[in-house]
């Protein structure tokens, strides 16, 4: 059986062809199996977030191929890509990407809005995932009145609420204290044991022990650390 994710010679530059061009990902090839727990490390600016955006189909590679679940993502339409992103991917963004003037519960519900789920059912699902992350007390609070760590946990709940196949997590423990870091890592491990593929970008080497594969990005090029 072929790997869930296959990247072949993928490259991406910001400001392509301009004098401020940045080659953020260079000739990157990588295979990720269903059920892998992958860690990606690298210094600031090495291309980690760019790689996650490419995996989520939010950026279009300049060249190379991206195969997900036997579908050639580099060839499918924007609308099919958006539908796939909605059904299969949960993205914990580095800057959270929450709507500040909406409540925590409304933010967590957002991925379900596209799934034609009823409002009552949406709220029930969102509350359940917030309970699991021990943030159900924040349901009615506006996001712009919350702390960085609380926002991070809401971003995590939002990434999990639609039960994705793949979790893309960009520094998910960056704003968490040690207790909440442990809760999150236990949760990611539990989801991984249920068969969900986790791809985690981090500076925190203490959480890499959970990963069965670890890669390092050096200036957009990938190196295997543990396989």
Ligand X SMILES: Nc1ncnc2c1ncn2[C@@H]1O[C@H](COP(=O)(O)OP(=O)(O)OP(=O)(O)O)[C@@H](O)[C@H]1O
Residue ranges that bind ligand X, judged by CB under 6 A: 14-15, 22, 24, 42, 44-50, 94
Strand pairing partners for 198?
A: 37, 167
Q: Rounded to the nearest whole angstrom, what is the least distance from the CB of residue 218 to Mg ion in the complex?
A: 15
Give the Cα separation of 127 and 166 in Å (integer). 21
Nearer to Mg ion, 26 or 162 (CB): 26
Q: Which does 50 bind (CB under 5 to 8 A by kind): ligand X, Mg ion, none?
A: ligand X
Give the Cα separation of 37 and 137 in Å (integer). 30
Q: Rounded to the nearest whole angstrom, what is the least distance from the CB of residue 45 to Mg ion in the complex?
A: 8
Q: What is the DSSP letter of 141?
A: S
Q: Which does 45 bind (CB under 5 to 8 A by kind): Mg ion, ligand X, none?
A: ligand X
Q: Which does 64 bind (CB under 5 to 8 A by kind): ligand X, Mg ion, none?
A: none
Give the Cα separation of 205 and 175 in Å (integer). 15
Q: Rounded to the nearest whole angstrom, what is the least distance from the CB of residue 10 to ligand X in the complex?
A: 13
Nearer to Mg ion, 74 or 94 (CB): 94
Q: Rounded to the nearest whole angstrom, what is the least distance from the CB of residue 225 to ligand X in the complex?
A: 15
Nearer to ligand X, 46 or 180 (CB): 46
Where does the chain show beta strands of DSSP type E?
5-14, 22-32, 37-41, 63-68, 71-72, 89-92, 166-170, 197-201, 213-218, 221-226
Nearer to ligand X, 49 or 107 (CB): 49
Q: Which does 46 bind (CB under 5 to 8 A by kind): Mg ion, ligand X, none?
A: ligand X
Nearer to ligand X, 121 or 203 (CB): 203
Q: Which residues are near Mg ion by CB under 5 A?
A: 49, 94
Q: Rounded to the nearest whole angstrom, what is the least distance from the CB of residue 52 to ligand X in the complex?
A: 8
Cβ pair 82, 113 in contact under 8 A: no
Give the Cα separation of 94 and 202 in Å (integer). 10
């Amino acid at each position: 059986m072929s790997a869930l994710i296959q990247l072949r010679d993928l490259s991406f530059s910001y400001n392509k062809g301009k004098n401020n061009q940045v080659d953020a990902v260079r000739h990157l090839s990588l295979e990720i199996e269903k059920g892998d727990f992958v860690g990606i490390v690298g210094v600031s600016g090495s291309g980690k977030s760019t790689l996650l955006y490419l995996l989520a189909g939010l950026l279009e590679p300049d060249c190379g191929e991206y195969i997900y679940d036997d579908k050639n993502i580099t060839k499918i339409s924007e609308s099919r890509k958006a539908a796939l992103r909605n059904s299969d991917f949960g993205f914990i963004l580095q800057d959270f990407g929450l709507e500040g003037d909406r409540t925590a519960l409304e933010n967590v519900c957002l991925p379900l809005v596209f799934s034609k789920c009823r409002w009552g059912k949406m709220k029930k699902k969102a509350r359940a995932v917030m309970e699991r992350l021990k943030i159900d007390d924040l349901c009615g609070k506006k996001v712009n009145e919350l702390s960085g760590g609380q926002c991070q946990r809401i971003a995590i709940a939002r990434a999990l609420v639609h039960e994705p196949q793949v979790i893309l997590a960009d520094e998910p423990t960056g704003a968490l204290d040690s207790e909440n870091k442990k809760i999150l890592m236990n949760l990611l491990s539990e989801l991984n044991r249920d068969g969900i593929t986790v791809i985690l970008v981090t500076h925190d080497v203490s959480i890499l022990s959970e990963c069965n594969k670890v890669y390092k990005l050096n200036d957009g090029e990938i190196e295997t650390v543990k396989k």
